[in-house]
């Protein structure tokens, strides 16, 4: 069976809370939308979701809030939102054991509060890891300010799931041309990999299992170029950038692109690709089952397809497989 390491659930109460906080708490890409257009999931829809999961041979979804994390400038707002979404996910996991779990959402940019919520989510709610977006209020989450979080995750040897925040890497070259989501999200994925490499985060916090979404964006195509040129600007790296990049895990969300899948498989190897869907985003274009089984239509060896779909997420998350 498949464990979907990259799935989302947007509880109505939680989305309404973010909208009431307003300001920078509302995701960048959502600011152009009206509140009525933002997705709100209803518990009544769980039965249909479970049916889709069964049809796709998915045993469990690991939930996170995508580009709608509980970030707020006021600490009390961020904490209330984080507790709300984490409690919502924990209730789903309790009501449907073995079908849902989650990664802990943190009330960033408030570090001490985030450490407390991490502890609550992992120790009390039984969550499987931690969720952070690639940036928080337009600052990379690889920056030094976030190091206490990495220190604690490293101590716990936990999983860290990244996700784009949909700010188009703060670039008018992307956002002014309205490619914030379609292209900018993949550039965010690539940017967090580069930032982690530049700041030597995996070297200093080697016990974290880093999971980058969407096949790593453009990183699979850049490994050789990074090895050739990046050391000029980063002479103190402990190893070639390609070696560090291959220490991460990458989910298979690729909008069905065989070219992107093949590139990531060649770049990272089958052992570092994990099953993920970005549920429900791709349902507008393909079935939930196809989110995963496009691998079966690829040039990848059958043994590698089986490893990616049925084993790697479980290994990363510490689940039976």
pLDDT tens-digit map of 5-46: 999 999 999 999 998 998 777 765 555 444 445 688 888 899
Distance, in Å, from the CA atom of 171 to the CA atom of 177, rounded to the nearest integer, reads: 10
The secondary structure element, H or E, covering residue 162 is strand 159-163
In this predicted structure, what is the pLDDT of residue 22?
A: 83
| pLDDT, tens digit (0-9, with 9 covering 90-100), for 211-243 | 999 999 999 999 999 999 999 999 999 999 999
- Residue recorded with tokens 């600490």: 75
Query: Which token pair is 299?
Result: 């040039």
Cα separation, 88 vs 104, whole angstroms:
11
Strands 100-102 and 135-136: unpaired
The pLDDT, as a whole number, for residue 321 is 80
For residue 259, the tally of other CB atoms under 10 A from its CB is 9
Please tell me the distance from the alpha carbon of residue 260 to that of residue 121, in angstroms, as a whole number: 34
pLDDT in tens, 105-149: 999 999 999 999 999 999 999 999 999 999 999 999 999 999 999
Distance separating alpha carbons of residues 208 and 152, to the nearest angstrom? 9
pTM of the model: 0.96
Give me the phi and psi of 211, to 5 degrees please: -120, 120
Rounded Cα gap, residues 311 and 3, in angstroms: 8
Please report the domains of the chain, with CATH numbers, ordered by start residue. Answer: 2-317 (3.20.20.140)
pLDDT in tens, 280-321: 999 999 999 999 999 999 999 999 999 999 999 999 999 988
Instruction: Give the pLDDT of residue 23.
Output: 79
Residue 86 makes CB contacts below 8 A (sequence gap 6+) with 102, 104, 105, 117, 120, 121, 125, 127
Cβ of 130: how many Cβ atoms within 10 Å?
Answer: 26
Q: 3-state SS string over 192-254?
A: HHHHHHHCCHHHHCCCCEEEECHHHCCHHHCHHHHHHHHHHHCCCCCCCHHHHHCCCEEECCC
User: Alpha-carbon distance 211 to 57, whole Å?
Assistant: 22
pLDDT at 38: 67
Contacts of 213 (CB under 8 A, 6+ apart): 6, 161, 162, 163, 164, 189, 250, 251, 253, 276, 278
Residue where the block lists tokens 């659930």: 9
pLDDT for residue 35: 44
* Per-chain mean pLDDT for the chain: 95
What token pair was written down for 162? 């990244």
Strands 135-136 and 139-140: antiparallel
d(CA 67, CA 26): 9
**Non-local CB neighbours of 82 within 8 Å, separated by 6+ positions:** 70, 105, 106, 107, 113, 114, 117
Contact between 248 and 211 (Cβ < 8 Å): yes
CA angle 165, 170, 173 (to 5 degrees): 125
- Closest CA relative to residue 295, chosen from 277, 318, 279: 277
């Amino acid at each position: 069976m498949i464990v979907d390491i990259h799935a989302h659930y947007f509880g109505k109460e939680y989305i309404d809370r973010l909208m009431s906080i307003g300001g920078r708490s509302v995701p960048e890409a959502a600011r152009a939308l009206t509140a009525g257009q933002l997705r709100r999931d209803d518990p009544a829809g769980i039965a249909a979701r479970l049916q889709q999961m069964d049809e796709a041979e998915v045993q469990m979804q690991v939930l996170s809030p995508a580009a709608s994390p509980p970030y707020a400038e006021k600490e009390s707002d961020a904490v209330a939102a984080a507790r709300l979404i984490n409690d919502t996910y924990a209730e789903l996991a309790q009501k449907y054991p073995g079908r849902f779990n989650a990664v802990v959402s943190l009330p960033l940019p408030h570090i001490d509060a985030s450490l407390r919520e991490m502890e609550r989510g992992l120790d009390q709610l039984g969550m499987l890891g931690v969720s952070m977006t690639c940036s928080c209020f337009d600052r990379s989450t690889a920056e030094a300010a976030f190091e206490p979080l990495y220190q604690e995750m490293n101590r716990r040897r936990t999983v860290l799931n990244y996700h784009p925040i949909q700010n188009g890497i703060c670039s008018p070259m992307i956002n002014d041309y309205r490619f914030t989501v379609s292209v900018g999200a993949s550039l965010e994925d690539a940017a967090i990999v580069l930032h982690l490499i530049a700041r030597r985060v995996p070297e200093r916090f080697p016990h974290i299992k880093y999971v980058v979404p969407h096949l790593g964006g453009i990183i699979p195509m850049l490994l050789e170029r990074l090895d050739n040129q990046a050391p000029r600007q980063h002479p103190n790296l402990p190893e070639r950038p390609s070696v560090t990049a291959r220490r991460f895990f990458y989910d298979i969300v690729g909008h069905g692109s065989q070219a992107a899948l093949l590139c990531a498989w060649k770049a990272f190897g089958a052992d570092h690709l994990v099953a993920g869907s970005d549920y429900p985003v791709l349902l507008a274009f393909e079935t939930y089952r196809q989110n995963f089984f496009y691998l079966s239509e690829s040039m990848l060896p059958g043994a590698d397809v089986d490893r990616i779909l049925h084993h790697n997420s479980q290994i990363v998350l510490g689940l039976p497989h």
